Structure 1
Amino acid sequence: MRIAVVTDSTAYLTDEQCEKYSIYRLPLSIAMGNETIEETKMDSTSFFEKVKTMDGLPTSSQPAIGQASLLFNELSKKYDAVISIHLSSELSGTFNTIASLSKIYEGLAIYPYDSGISCSAQGYFVLEAARMARENASVEEIFQKFEKMQQTLRAYFVVDDLNHLVRGGRLSNGSAIIGSLLKIKPILHFEDKKITVFEKIRTKKKALKRIEQLLSEDVEKGYPIVATIIHANVEQEAIEWMKTLKKHHPAIRYELSYFGPVIGTHLGEGALGLTWMEDQTKI
């Protein structure tokens, strides 16, 4: 069976990765004033600079169902099935749209997957699916691998301003109020596909140290790890953090990524995150 791998733009894979592994992308969009832009057509630096000039925050929107249908029409000419991997269904309606389309679409078997997360963590599933599809794995085998990957997947991040998450409806109001009053830098994570507070920390420096500690706990379990530092327009800060992590855990395979416009809308500039899991390339 010839299987195509589709994802959305919030996996923030590079053009080179998509070309190398034949990965297809459905772009989410950003509305900035009267202008709506596909996030693949705007770099993060330009996005955050433009946000500073706006009175309100941008809003994000999922790919149109017609856009998805056009892509699947093209894929049906070359493939028998599609595995479509998307950001958490609690952050966007993208997964549900593709799931609905899969029930009525004819001529191509569509298998949607809710990663329950986003950004590079979502990208781990996409890259592994593409690798396995090349090796002629079945849809069932790929989904079984996803289940195994979820067991070691971790993702933690720190934001400079909780109000972005609250105004976008991605975090409870109570958490933001506490954060504002106490000037804390809570560590956030995904729980049941939702962004929630993992721990409340007083400073960003201490929050990053705590995330390092969580990484160390998994390193001690003995399996190979890939870890990705993700930043919202603070690349130098992310590079410095990576240098620190490499000193403590040189055996880990490190990658650097970013929070693009759609996720950056909810997290705000200055956010830093770290995601990791068992390194599938070393199993």
Structure 2
Amino acid sequence: MSKIALVTDSAAYMPSDMIEKYDITVVPLMVNFGNESFREGVDISSDDFYKRLASEKALPTTSQPVVGDLVVAFEKLLQTHDSVIAVLLSSGLSGTVNSAETAARMVGGDITVIDSKITAWGQAHMVLEVAKLREEGLPKDEIVSRVLELRDRVGAYFVVDSLEHLHRGGRVSGVSAMLGSLLQVKPVLRVNDGKLEMFEKVRTRKKALARVIELLQEKVGENDKLVASIVYSDVKADGEAFLAQVQEAIPTAVLELSQLGPVVGTHVGPGLLAVIYAVR
């Protein structure tokens, strides 16, 4: 049986016990406040990041792992494994996939880079799928095929508290951000083909969250099973309340709660609530 190494990046926001249990190598992305750089999940926690974000005037920046670090990680893993599967943050949100593909070409060997086309729980869900299939002893090609099939059933809806961070990150215009603030618009965003895009503009946060639940109900229909995470940025109590709403509306859904970390949090800002889901 071939030995397969499993790699992801910090934007999967996986719990440390899962990382340890399934022997997953996590390559950190960077978040930068001015001249200070922090490895996500290593040098700065999510809670500390949001506290600092609230007090900083300038928006932090983010950056993907450098190619050299990925080369070192791949080379080390191939010393003890026959192949590598890397499930990484959407190429529509980061250059991490491109960096990993460059590193894989430099290293050679049997390295497969998978663009998750998602982030956070959706990315982690695919990583865990690889881990479980690997434990079952499936060959690498079949594992990759199954994960790509799963990717087609994964999606996300985001409700942001303000358009400010999306504007400052270049995702919406200044006019849209200003009008959104004046009109109390709470945009519903979705991840489409790996990119975060405006889906609907809804007046008030309450209506936006109710709309997300409607969209989830449409996805599930009568026969499908919904597995999802309610994702919050900085206010856990809001995430818990929204989880209860979703569970009441879709009693058969298997739900969990997770926090969005610094790199993605930089672009959507505090006050975010999201559902990242897989339909099975």
Counterparts of 1:1-283 in structure 2 under 5 Å? Answer: 1-41=2-42, 42-106=44-108, 108-171=109-172, 175-279=176-280
- Say which is worse superposed, 215-224 or 20-29, in terms of deviation: 215-224
Structure 2 CA distance for partners of 1:172 and 1:116, relative to 1, 3 Å? farther
* Partner AA of 1:21 in structure 2: Y
The separation in 2 between residues aligned to 1:159 and 1:122, in whole angstroms, is 20
**1:67 counterpart letter in structure 2:** D
In 1, distance between residues paired with 2:99 and 2:14? 21
Contact kept? 1:171, 1:195, Cα under 8 Å = no
The CA deviation string for residues 127-184 of structure 1, in whole angstroms up to 9 with x for no partner, is 1011111222223212221232133222001111212122223445565354234321
In the superposition, the TM-score normalised over structure 1's length comes to 0.93
- The answer on whether the counterparts of 2:68 and 2:103 sit within 8 Å (CA) in structure 1 is no
Post-superposition Cα deviations, 1:26-54, rounded to whole Å, max 9, x if no partner, equal 00011112211101122211111111222
TM-aligned CA distance change 1:264 to 1:34, over 3 Å: same
Distance 2:171 2:182 in 1: 19
Residue 243 of structure 1 aligns to a residue in which SS?
A: helix
Q: Do 1:2 and 1:79's aligned partners in 2 also have CA atoms closer than 8 Å?
A: yes
CA–CA separation in structure 2 for the residues paired with 1:64 and 1:235: 32
Change (3 A) 1:173 1:98: farther
Decide which moves more: 129-138 or 178-187. 178-187
Give the conservation status (yes or no) of the 8 Å contact 2:118–2:155: no
Deviation at 1:207, TM superposition (A): 0.7
SS of residue in 1 equivalent to 2:239: helix
User: Aligned partners of 1:31 and 1:45: how far apart in 2?
Assistant: 16
In the alignment, the residues of structure 1 paired with residue 23 and residue 258 of structure 2 have an alpha-carbon distance, to the nearest angstrom, of: 20
Q: Which 4+ residue blocks in structure 1 deviate beyond 4 angstroms?
A: 171-175
Letter in 1 for 2:244: K
Q: Number of aligned residue pairs: give it.
A: 278
Q: Distance in 2 between matches of 1:7 and 1:175?
A: 35
Task: State percent identity of aligned pairs.
Answer: 39
Which amino acid in structure 2 is aligned with residue 7 of structure 1?
Answer: T
Q: Gapped runs of 5+ residues in structure 2? A: none
Label 1:140 to 1:44 Cα distance change in 2 as closer, same or farther (>3 A): same
Aligned counterparts of 2:163 and 2:59: Cα–Cα separation in 1: 13
1:75 match: secondary structure: helix
Aligned partners of 1:175 and 1:197 also within 8 Å? no
TM-score, reference length from structure 2: 0.94
Alpha-carbon separation, structure 1, partners of 2:224 and 2:194: 25
Following superposition, the deviation at residue 193 of structure 1 comes to 1.9
Q: Report the RMSD for the aligned CA atoms in angstroms.
A: 1.6
Q: Deviations over 1:6-42 (max 9, x none)?
A: 0000000010111111111000011112211101122
Greater mean deviation of Cα atoms: 7-16 or 96-105: 96-105
CA contact (8 A) 1:28 1:60 kept: yes
* SS across alignment from 2:49: helix
The offset of 1:201, in angstroms, is 0.6
Rounded to whole Å, the distance in 1 between the matches of 2:192 and 2:220 is 22
Q: Distance in 2 between matches of 1:243 and 1:182?
A: 28
